[in-house]
A and B are shown apart, each in its own frame.
Chain A
Amino acid sequence: DGGITQSPKYLFRKEGQNVTLSCEQNLNHDAMYWYRQDPGQGLRLIYYSQIVNDFQKGDIAEGYSVSREKKESFPLTVTSAQKNPTAFYLCASSPWTGGDRYGYTFGSGTRLTVV
């Protein structure tokens, strides 16, 4: 079945460490997105990519980095510069930016906790 796989489901990070969240899709979608979810704040866009080897900052890109070397993969690195990284991270994809009739297809998320 086609879909988006995010791993790991839970991730613990020590302060000062970089961590990378994985996102893989087999839907042949061109566009991919990373959102951050905090209680009471909805989903905020971190980065998005419209095509391989290209990506754009979203609303809260500071302290994060991404790469898009393959169509299927859009990993997110949470760097030590991110002051408050504890959150739930959702990856999504769509055939093109702005979404198709379903909006986006979402992964099941990674919950990152800084210890």
Chain B
Amino acid sequence: AQKVTQAQTEISVVEKEDVTLDCVYETRDTTYYLFWYKQPPSGELVFLIRRNSFDEQNEISGRYSWNFQKSTSSFNFTITASQVVDSAVYFCALRGYNKLIFGAGTRLAVHP
């Protein structure tokens, strides 16, 4: 079975704190893709990153970084020096057969 688990339902931080959002996945496929999306209050899901199973190199994009570890089936997302504009729901997703499988999402609240 394929599954994505985001154990953190809600996280609250103060601006400029670093925050890590956890994502654990299950799949029997040897080749697979993982995604992170951001859902701001407007509702639309915004693509952040895609990672394929062959590439375990960590990725950094500005204040965002992602840590992919196949050994622990995890694909965690870190926001450095968080800002109020980072407040949103963040979803981790796994590409399954004919569909994306989403985790339950983590609601991040960044307070001034």
Q: Which residues of A contact B (CB under 8 A)?
A: 33, 35, 40-45, 48, 50, 56, 58, 88, 90, 92, 97-99, 101-104, 106-109, 111
Could you tell me if A45 and B50 are in contact, using CB atoms closer than 8 angstroms? no
Whether A40 contacts B9 in the complex (CB less than 8 A), given A102-B50, A106-B45, A107-B44, comes out as yes
Is A42 a contact of B105 with CB atoms below 8 Å?
yes
Interface size on B, residues (CB 8 A): 24
Which residues of B sit under 8 angstroms from A108, Cβ to Cβ? 42-44
Greatest chain A CB density within 10 A among B96, B98, B105 is at: B98
Which B residues lie at the A interface, using CB under 8 A?
A: 4, 6, 9, 33, 35, 37, 42-45, 47, 50, 91, 93, 95-100, 102-105
16 A–B contacts, CB within 8 A, in A order:
A33-B99, A40-B9, A42-B4, A42-B6, A42-B91, A48-B98, A48-B99, A56-B98, A90-B43, A97-B99, A98-B95, A102-B47, A103-B33, A103-B93, A108-B43, A108-B44
| Complex CA–CA separation, A33 to B93 (angstroms) | 15
Contacts of A42 in B (CB 8 A): 4, 6, 91, 102-105
Closest to A33 in B: B99
What CA separation (Å) do A88 and B50 show in the bound complex?
Answer: 25
